């Protein structure tokens, strides 16, 4: 099996160092989104005492010319802490902190979509928007071949793998269970996990989260996933169609509700929101993957439990529609809806902002109002 060289190092030796006392000082690892809009970076510094809140963590900087975010002649970028978590790799009292990236002039970097998202969330706060995002991903070996697949062929057709059990149906459960525990220790609002339709493909869910928590917690969950995979020597890809042909792609289905939708009679508000979404399909497709729809076009074909990228559709319990209303919601007359269009590699800040602007702020057209 193709795994990284570093994963083969003797972890027992590492454990001896991890047990050493560190006094009152702590390690804080700063995590940020790089210039690709998909990649994550991190670096660590020592603080003299355990931070109890964000205000205890100082701003920092990094070389943006090495992360596709600046030119070498003016490369310093600012890291602004926005959300703090416990560190599941070196344990308490050490911390992970998710950061926004600002340019030299203190304006947000091009891939810092959090600031715009927060503006929309603040305007919609009275509606108490809740999100739950279902992050699909695929495990690969270092050679980019799906983990557990035959080296010179393909596994059997899809069917036995979804929520499967057994060594011939499930590949990489150790990674998945380790990631789940790491998220829980860190304080990420992870809600569940399951094996997906394509072998070596998995899903975890984050939420329900209100407002900005959705994007912050999903990005940290992704960081933890990549970091856990590093220990096991494998790779997690969020590519929306990692294997061409008759195999399922990978999405990030997004569940959404407002307080009015969750209360009695909420189905009317759900239907009104879907009507607004139907008139803004192109705007949402552009926001739902980092390449403005190009990545998603490989996945949203109308096959393999997807809708066509060219058409908007909605239906109860229909996994081939753009928007699915769960059957239970139809029976109860209130609850939430699921937008099945976002790609696995979407930026959750962009997705949640787009939904807020269309469904709550009643913006129209294909251009941002902000």
Residues spanned by CATH 3.30.590.10 within the chain? Answer: 120-359
Tell me what pLDDT residue 18 has.
95
Looking at the chain, the whole-number percentage of residues with pLDDT higher than 70 is 99
Give the CA dihedral 146, 147, 150, 155, nearest 10 degrees. -70
* Residue 125, pLDDT above cutoff 70: yes
Domain covering 120-359 assigned CATH 3.30.590.10 in the classification: yes
* Residue 40's pLDDT band (cuts 50, 70, 90): very high
* Residue 101's pLDDT band (cuts 50, 70, 90): very high
CB atoms within 10 A of CB 16: 8
How many helices (H) does the chain have, and how many strands (E)?
A: 9, 13
Sign of CA dihedral 4, 10, 12, 16: negative
Task: Kindly report the average pLDDT of the chain as a whole number.
Answer: 96
Mean pLDDT of 80-85: 98
Q: How far apart are CA 338 and CA 66, in angstroms?
A: 38
* Residue 370, pLDDT above cutoff 90: no
Give the CA dihedral 145, 148, 150, 153, nearest 10 degrees. -50
Residue 284, preceding peptide bond in cis (omega within 30° of 0): no
Tell me what pLDDT residue 365 has.
85
Q: Whole-model pTM above 0.75?
A: yes
Residues written for the chain: 370
pLDDT, one tens digit per residue, over 229-245 is 999 999 999 999 999 99
pLDDT, one tens digit per residue, over 264-316 is 999 999 999 999 999 999 999 999 999 999 999 999 999 988 999 999 999 99
pLDDT, one tens digit per residue, over 142-164 is 999 999 999 888 999 999 999 99
Tell me what pLDDT residue 368 has.
58
Residues spanned by CATH 3.10.20.70 within the chain? Answer: 6-112
Report whether 189 contacts 223 (CB < 8 A).
no
Domain covering 6-112 assigned CATH 3.10.20.70 in the classification: yes
Tell me what pLDDT residue 366 has.
76
Q: How far apart are CA 303 and CA 209, in angstroms?
A: 30
Nearest to 182 by CA among 115, 98, 90: 90
Tell me what pLDDT residue 367 has.
64
Structure tokens at 364: 């129209």
């Amino acid at each position: 099996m193709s795994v990284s060289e570093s994963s083969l190092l003797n972890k027992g030796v590492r454990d001896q160092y991890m047990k050493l006392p560190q006094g009152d000082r702590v390690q804080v690892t700063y995590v940020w989104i790089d210039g690709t809009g998909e990649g994550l970076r991190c670096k660590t510094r020592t603080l003299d005492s355990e931070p109890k809140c964000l205000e205890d963590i100082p701003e920092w900087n990094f070389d943006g010319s090495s992360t596709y975010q600046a030119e070498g002649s003016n490369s310093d970028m600012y890291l602004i802490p926005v959300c703090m978590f416990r560190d599941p790799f070196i344990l308490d009292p050490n911390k992970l902190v998710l950061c926004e990236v600002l340019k030299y002039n203190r304006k947000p970097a091009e891939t810092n979509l959090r600031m715009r998202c927060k503006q929309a969330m603040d305007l919609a706060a009275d509606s108490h928007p809740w999100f739950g995002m279902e992050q699909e991903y695929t495990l690969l070996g270092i050679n980019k071949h799906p983990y557990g697949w035959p080296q010179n062929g393909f596994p059997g057709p899809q069917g036995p793998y979804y929520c499967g059990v057994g060594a011939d149906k499930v590949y990489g459960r150790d990674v998945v269970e380790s990631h789940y525990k790491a998220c829980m220790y860190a304080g990420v609002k992870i809600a569940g996990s399951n094996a997906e339709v394509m072998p070596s493909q998995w899903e975890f869910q984050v939420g329900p989260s209100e407002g900005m928590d959705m994007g912050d917690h999903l990005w940290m969950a992704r960081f933890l996933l990549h970091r856990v995979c590093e220990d096991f020597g494998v790779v997690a890809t969020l590519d929306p169609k990692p294997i061409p042909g008759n195999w399922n792609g990978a999405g990030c289905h997004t569940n959404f509700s407002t307080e009015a939708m969750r209360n009695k009679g909420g189905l009317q508000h759900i239907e009104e929101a879907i009507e607004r979404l139907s008139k803004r399909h192109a705007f949402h497709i552009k926001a739902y993957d980092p390449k403005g729809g190009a990545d998603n076009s490989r996945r949203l074909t109308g096959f393999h439990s997807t809708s066509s990228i060219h058409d908007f559709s909605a239906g109860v319990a229909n996994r081939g529609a753009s928007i699915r209303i769960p059957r239970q919601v139809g029976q109860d007359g209130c609850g939430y809806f699921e937008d099945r269009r976002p790609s696995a590699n979407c930026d959750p800040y962009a997705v949640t902002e787009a939904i807020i602007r269309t469904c709550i702020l009643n913006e129209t057209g294909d251009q941002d109002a902000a």
